[in-house]
A and B are shown apart, each in its own frame.
Chain A
Amino acid sequence: MTSELDIFVGNTTLIDEDVYRLWLDGYSVNDAVALRVRSGILEQTGATAGVLQSDTMDHYRTFHMLERLLHAPPKLLHQLIFQIPPSRQALLIERYYTFDEAFVREVLGKKLSKGTKKDLDDISTKTGITLKSCRRQFDNFKRVFKVVEEMRGSLVDNIQQHFLLSDRLARDYAAIVFFANNRFETGKKKLQYLSFGDFAFCAELMIQNWTLGAVDSQMDDMDVDLDKEFLQDLKELKVLVADKDLLDLHKSLVCTALRGKLSVFSEMETNFKNLSRGLVNVAAKLTHNKDVRDLFVDLVEKFVEPCRSDHWPLSDVRLFLNQYSVSVHSLDGFRHQTLWDRYMGTLRGCLLRLYHD
């Protein structure tokens, strides 16, 4: 006796959260059944393996049918085929768009193209996340990217409106979209110590301060692209390191202010010019796309690593950066104060976040 057909359809669609998770994690029906058996569900409920198999199949089929709707979450709310309570709808959507830290670190900043998709096999092997789950996560990134890429207005709001995600998840997606659009390099070995949260934090600061939307949300362009004009202007900052007098003055201002306040004062003093040169040069290079991509590599190379090798405590880094930014206001010969603040305000936030082991 073999089962040809076996279905269960409820007027209210039954959603089993555990099975949903297994499905999202990309397990096959048989693997999911095995995992459920291991969870001890048979003992708890007195069910047989056959019952579990049939139940799992049924849920998988339902999820498969729902997947089409989950690709455009507002459709899930308006469709008539599945009667699902609103709280469950929210859960379905949120979980579907949730991604793995390990996975996102692999693709963050990469072009969401077919080429990257082909690499998913390797990512799957590397991270231990099933290929199926990798594909879902990748496709989610790509889908969100495609929808909001050309849209005006706040990136987070757009994502939230079109994908009905929670605020937190929408912010994460904003970061992913922002990184994908600007192709920031995040995969280099020296960046491996950084978490997705670190990057997302930086992305948020950059979206808030460095994009066109940051200046004027009515503008044609929006949150996704960096303000080109601003990047051009950043060249003007070069004077801070190119002008020897200015650099010395800057150094003396900072050193005077911080004397006795830093545990690593002498290291700071010796390294000041290098550090300042590094930070200003990063700004000056941002006119080239290639250098924009390497922003994080440069920041780590030019600032984080030197400080770290000298064992700066975080509090000292904070004090230094604050003083370093503020002192520029006292440089009489320097005319680009606003530009400096727009650049350094964000950079300071990023560097503090990036500065850890």
Chain B
Amino acid sequence: MPGKLKVKIVAGRHLPVMDRASDLTDAFVEVKFGNTTFKTDVYLKSLNPQWNSEWFKFEVDDEDLQDEPLQITVLDHDTYSANDAIGKVYIDIDPLLYSEAATVISGWFPIYDTIHGIRGEINVVVKVDLFNDLNRFRQSSCGVKFFCTTSIPKCYRAVVIHGFVEELVVNEDPEYQWIDRIRTPRASNEARQRLISLMSGELQRKIGLKVLEMRGNAVVGYLQCFDLEGESGLVVRAIGTACTLDKLSSPATFLPACNSPSKEMKESPLVHPPSHGCRSTHNSPIHTATGSRLTQSFSVSVPTLIYTGMGSGSAGKEGGPFKALLRQQTQSALEQRGGSPHRFCRRREFPFLTLTAFPPGLLVHVGGVVSARSVKLLDRIHNPDEPETRDAWWAEIRQEIKSHAKALGCHAVVGYSESTSICEEVCILSASGTAAVLSPRFLQEGTVDGSLEQRVEENLPVGCGFCHIPYDELNMPFPAHLTHCYNCRKQKVPDVLFTTIDLPTDAVVIGKGCLIQARLCRLKKKAQAEANATAISNLLPFMEYEVHTQLMNKLKLKGMNALFGLRIQITVGENMLMGLASATGVYLAALPMPGGIQIAGKTPSDGSYEQHISHMQKKINDTIAKNKELYEINPPEVSEEIIGSPIPEPRQRSRLLRSQSESSDEVTELDLSHGKKDAFVLEIDDTDAMEDVHSLLTDVPPPSGFYSCNTEIMPGINNWTSEIQMFTSVRVVRLSSLNLTNQALNKNFNGLCENLLKSLYFKLRSMTPCCLCHVNFTVSLPEDELIQVTVTAVAITFDKNQALQTTKAHAEKSLQRASTDNEELLQFPLELCSDSVPSHAFPAAKEHPESASSNSGTPAAQRATSVDYSSFADRCSSWIELIKLKAQTIRRGSIKTTVTVEKASPMGDGNFRNRSAPPCAGSTVGVVKMTPLSFIPGAKITKYLGIINMFFIRETTSLREEGGVSGFLHTFIAEVFAMVRAHVAALGGNAVVSYIMKQCVFMENPSKNQAQCLINVSGDAVVFVRESDLEVMSTQQPAVNCQPTCTGEVTT
């Protein structure tokens, strides 16, 4: 008996009126876990019943504890007819299964009904007692911590990063079962919600098992998605990075952080390494893989591009070489696949990390973005209920990614993610990541493919090392212009760098960053099966190419040279494909200054045409100049001598990497480069090209006071104030079906995205100066002529005055870095072992009041120095002089702290003391913050309470009455937020970090007055403490357990 789950139903409030006669309700509650159900008494005639039930006890396997959700149903008692359901609450008890997280779940939960939405609230208390059980054939993985955060969570330290974990489970979709024809929509929705909850639990447990097997204790960057395949099933899949994490405050690595006996018991799975088994679970509706079978599947392999330094390729020569590329890149085949390898064996094959930010020293070099796509037909899955086929599909794609990385001279892929787009029976699987060279310090032997050449240079210069090319310059995988690094002048760097990761905290950036998007639509003929798949896969390479060109053009137009957080989404619809790429452009000091964009006309005979071209050229040049000013990009003028002689041009030939699975023996050798570098030539040979240039210029910069990026932090801003506003915005537009052309489509789509952004800026205008961070666009094509765009982001305010100051200081710091490589290096390992997570010297400080006081002293000192430096900057006119000055100061020894502290706190410091809001006085509902970022500005996360992973369905048959589609979805999203907040508050938390809305599937049928929506969200529940409060606490009583003021309900 490994666990006892205890549940108490306390009370309800704001219940709906269920009895029209009395305007009251006779409510009671059913508590269900697994196959056991308990009931409370009926509380007669009240909308605010006080059940105050006994403790309902469920004695269950820990395996079930992980898989099953606790299901609480509130009903209205009816003597004569069937009891009416008021609504349900599903509680994921996973956070109670590992120590350090929550010990009790207690609070008010919204009672949710899939037809009526939230109908009142219920107060529930849940506890779990876990018993130790050593001699079991392990199926559970209690104790493994899960984090959605794609970096090492604050207040933890990574001891070992074990590597990639993945799993998927498949089940029949209840909506497509025969029984769905006769049951009510409510029953069907609930069956679906419950099933997904169950599958998520099972998936998490299985991933946990893999982690235990790798001797890890946590999964970081856990990304779970579900694919609604329709007839062929419902897939829940997840990827993550297995790690061994160590709580920063705990004295030793292997000891549990807490000493109470009950917690130690919880920790036990970690102490006893498990042996893995393959017992299948009988009572679960999900089928585990038991063997391998032959599967026949239709598969189209799609060529992949690698985005790195292709900047100098001429876009105008599309006609020739690019077509050649396509010819042999698009290959479709009916593949007879062999048996897939055993599912457990392939784990370490893929040296992938889902992390986007890394402990200092881990990331050595970045090669560029690698991505792979594949078009599959879902109705050809032989055994739809078994996961093998999908496993094989993903394995194939991952293999491709791996080989791309290899070609870039990299042994690992970081910032890795996977996604799908499904339309009827066609499914596009996509994976992308950033090829990288990692330092083996943190990695387990198994993770890194030993056969690869590891070019790990131990004494790397900080701030530019990751830009240095990992590949052999004489045998480059694609055309790129290499130069000596503008920062250290020792290694080679490409002229442009694209990555999917966050900007490394130590990267030297000039000016600010900005959100860059490439948007694209392509019409496609409606087709069936293979023909459709072939058509799609024929279009994909064009789209990839065009998305890339757009990104490159826009990047140059911004006067920047690197993209971070690149995410390319290709969405498939009935009659079109949509591509949307978002990234954050920055100017990396290490990379060369980007050349301008030159326009060349094809027919130079016409005079007016010439004039037009030159007019355009002027406009482009003006835009570049304006952008440089706007984003404060003023790189120091560097003469050629300092940089060193230009590197001899590498071989002027390039190879676009192709997927290994292709059997074509034709060699692709494209010449994408043109004579002299520097300028990027756009040839205008037809109206299309003209349109493209025009569309380049239509992107308007955000209004003053606004910045936007899709990464965690905005490069160039580091003085965040504490006000944050997370939001989701959804738009659906109907295209007029008349004479749709690609051009018109593109224009519409562009307008849609631009208007959406404009609306956001307008709505948030009261927050300026502020930055929209982690702007995440998702496109879907729910119907023929409908385009749906969903945006989730967070607006964070910052202090404008200080911004000016720090950017100055920042620029100087970068210069100073360049000159003091060695000194920095000496300091580097120290920094690494003392505190691997930036800016969190604090947990330790809590234990030692003395060090706390000395710590809190630093920010002041740092501010003082940075002020000092900006005044230096004013006086120093020449760069060299500046370096000299810096070098002198460094020798005096005062600057070292400056660098560490400043780098350490991306959220700025000191500034919030006066600003922190008063703790929700007067309100009875505690404030729960939500943010897609991994941190909360102006606050320290003191505790992770567990993962939030929720799935909701809402349906209506009275769409008009609920305010039409907008009213319906607005309410639903607000309800989802409310339920997330309620769960976090019940866990004792006051924020959700790394929040993401992974799916928002909206379907409508206005003629029938119906609509349905599915939403899947996830994030990490945390406890945070304002830095201002922390200071008070540390001076008063160092041993205080940091509970937020608003959530006082947590007791053990």
Cβ of A5: which chain B residues have Cβ within 8 Å of it?
A: 730-732, 788, 965-966, 969, 1002
- Within 8 Å of chain A (Cβ to Cβ): is B928? yes
- Within 8 Å of chain A (Cβ to Cβ): is B914? no
Cβ of B978: which chain A residues have Cβ within 8 Å of it?
A: 80-83
- Within 8 Å of chain B (Cβ to Cβ): is A115? no
Cβ of B927: which chain A residues have Cβ within 8 Å of it?
A: 83, 85
- Within 8 Å of chain B (Cβ to Cβ): is A43? no
Contact with B along A1-36 (1 / 0, CB 8 A): 111111111111110000000000000000000000
A8 to B735, CA, bound (A): 21
In the complex the two chains form, is B925's CB within 8 Å of A78's CB? yes
- Within 8 Å of chain A (Cβ to Cβ): is B290? no
- Within 8 Å of chain B (Cβ to Cβ): is A195? no
Cβ of A1: which chain B residues have Cβ within 8 Å of it?
A: 733-736, 748, 751-752
In the complex the two chains form, is B977's CB within 8 Å of A48's CB? no
A79 to B14, CA, bound (A): 9
A348 to B752, CA, bound (A): 68
- Within 8 Å of chain B (Cβ to Cβ): is A45? yes
In the complex the two chains form, is A81's CB within 8 Å of B118's CB? yes
Contact with B along A278-307 (1 / 0, CB 8 A): 000000000000000000000000000000
Closest residue of chain B to A50 (Cβ to Cβ) is B755
- Within 8 Å of chain B (Cβ to Cβ): is A61? yes
In the complex the two chains form, is A4's CB within 8 Å of B748's CB? no
Cβ of A47: which chain B residues have Cβ within 8 Å of it?
A: 758, 761-762
Q: How far is the CB of A186 from chain B (nearest CB, A)?
A: 34
In the complex the two chains form, is B922's CB within 8 Å of A14's CB? no
Q: How far is the CB of A63 from chain B (nearest CB, A)?
A: 12
Q: How far is the CB of B870 from chain A (nearest CB, A)?
A: 31
Contact with A along B939-970 (1 / 0, CB 8 A): 00000000000000000000000010111011
> Which of A51-59, A176-184, A204-212, A338-346 is the contact stretch?
A51-59
Closest residue of chain B to A9 (Cβ to Cβ) is B973
Contact partner, B923, options A8, A10, A75, A86, Cβ 8 Å = A86
- Within 8 Å of chain A (Cβ to Cβ): is B52? no
Closest residue of chain A to B920 (Cβ to Cβ) is A86
Cβ of A14: which chain B residues have Cβ within 8 Å of it?
A: 725, 763
Known: A55-B759, A78-B14, A79-B14. A11 touches B725 (CB 8 A): yes
Q: How far is the CB of A306 from chain B (nearest CB, A)?
A: 52
- Within 8 Å of chain B (Cβ to Cβ): is A89? yes
- Within 8 Å of chain A (Cβ to Cβ): is B423? no
Cβ of A57: which chain B residues have Cβ within 8 Å of it?
A: 966
In the complex the two chains form, is B725's CB within 8 Å of A10's CB? yes
- Within 8 Å of chain A (Cβ to Cβ): is B864? no
In the complex the two chains form, is A65's CB within 8 Å of B924's CB? no
A311 to B327, CA, bound (A): 105
In the complex the two chains form, is B974's CB within 8 Å of A46's CB? no
- Within 8 Å of chain B (Cβ to Cβ): is A151? no
Q: How far is the CB of A160 from chain B (nearest CB, A)?
A: 14
**Chain A, range 60-81, C-beta contacts under 8 Å to B:** 61-62, 64-65, 75, 77-81
Q: How far is the CB of A346 from chain B (nearest CB, A)?
A: 36
Closest residue of chain A to B110 (Cβ to Cβ) is A80
Q: How far is the CB of B172 from chain A (nearest CB, A)?
A: 31
Q: How far is the CB of B928 from chain A (nearest CB, A)?
A: 7
Closest residue of chain B to A10 (Cβ to Cβ) is B727
Known: A5-B732, A9-B727, A47-B758. A78 touches B924 (CB 8 A): yes
Cβ of A13: which chain B residues have Cβ within 8 Å of it?
A: 974
Contact with A along B14-26 (1 / 0, CB 8 A): 1000000000000
Contact partner, A83, options B758, B971, B981, Cβ 8 Å = B981
In the complex the two chains form, is B731's CB within 8 Å of A6's CB? yes
- Within 8 Å of chain A (Cβ to Cβ): is B320? no
Known: A51-B758, A77-B923, A81-B118. A64 touches B733 (CB 8 A): no
Most buried by B among A1, A5, A10, A51: A5
Cβ of B735: which chain A residues have Cβ within 8 Å of it?
A: 1
A6 to B730, CA, bound (A): 6
A77 to B13, CA, bound (A): 13
Closest residue of chain B to A87 (Cβ to Cβ) is B922
In the complex the two chains form, is A75's CB within 8 Å of B14's CB? yes
- Within 8 Å of chain A (Cβ to Cβ): is B798? no
A49 to B683, CA, bound (A): 36
Cβ of B731: which chain A residues have Cβ within 8 Å of it?
A: 3, 5-7
Cβ of A79: which chain B residues have Cβ within 8 Å of it?
A: 14, 925
A78 to B729, CA, bound (A): 25
Contact with A along B918-936 (1 / 0, CB 8 A): 0011111101111000000
A208 to B733, CA, bound (A): 61
A9 to B727, CA, bound (A): 5
Cβ of B525: which chain A residues have Cβ within 8 Å of it?
A: none
Known: A1-B735, A1-B751. A8 touches B729 (CB 8 A): yes
A55 to B759, CA, bound (A): 7
In the complex the two chains form, is B13's CB within 8 Å of A3's CB? no
Cβ of B819: which chain A residues have Cβ within 8 Å of it?
A: none
Contact partner, B703, options A46, A75, A83, A86, Cβ 8 Å = A46
Cβ of B726: which chain A residues have Cβ within 8 Å of it?
A: 10-11
In the complex the two chains form, is A86's CB within 8 Å of B973's CB? no
Cβ of A12: which chain B residues have Cβ within 8 Å of it?
A: 725
- Within 8 Å of chain A (Cβ to Cβ): is B786? yes
Q: How far is the CB of A83 from chain B (nearest CB, A)?
A: 7
Closest residue of chain A to B765 (Cβ to Cβ) is A45
Contact partner, A77, options B925, B967, B969, B971, Cβ 8 Å = B925
**Chain B, range 108-131, C-beta contacts under 8 Å to A:** 108, 110, 118, 121
Q: How far is the CB of A276 from chain B (nearest CB, A)?
A: 53
A58 to B727, CA, bound (A): 13
Contact partner, A89, options B14, B118, B923, B929, Cβ 8 Å = B923
A19 to B735, CA, bound (A): 30
- Within 8 Å of chain A (Cβ to Cβ): is B1010? no
In the complex the two chains form, is A55's CB within 8 Å of B762's CB? yes
In the complex the two chains form, is B729's CB within 8 Å of A9's CB? yes
Known: A65-B971, A83-B927. A9 touches B732 (CB 8 A): no
In the complex the two chains form, is A45's CB within 8 Å of B921's CB? no
**Chain B, range 738-786, C-beta contacts under 8 Å to A:** 748, 751-752, 755, 758-763, 765, 786
Most buried by B among A51, A55, A64, A89: A51
A4 to B752, CA, bound (A): 12
A4 to B734, CA, bound (A): 6
A215 to B855, CA, bound (A): 66
Known: A45-B703, A83-B928. A9 touches B725 (CB 8 A): no
Cβ of A51: which chain B residues have Cβ within 8 Å of it?
A: 755, 758-759, 762
- Within 8 Å of chain A (Cβ to Cβ): is B975? yes
In the complex the two chains form, is A80's CB within 8 Å of B118's CB? yes
A-B pairs with beta carbons under 8 Å apart, 22 shown = A1-B734, A3-B732, A4-B733, A4-B786, A6-B732, A7-B729, A8-B729, A9-B970, A14-B725, A46-B703, A51-B755, A51-B759, A54-B755, A55-B759, A61-B963, A61-B967, A77-B923, A77-B924, A81-B975, A81-B977, A83-B927, A83-B928
Other A-B pairs beyond A7-B729, A51-B759, A58-B763, 18, CB < 8 Å = A2-B736, A4-B733, A5-B731, A5-B1002, A6-B730, A8-B759, A9-B727, A9-B973, A10-B725, A11-B726, A14-B763, A45-B703, A55-B759, A61-B963, A61-B967, A65-B967, A80-B110, A83-B927
* Smallest CB-CB A-B distances: 3 pairs: A5-B732, A10-B727, A11-B726
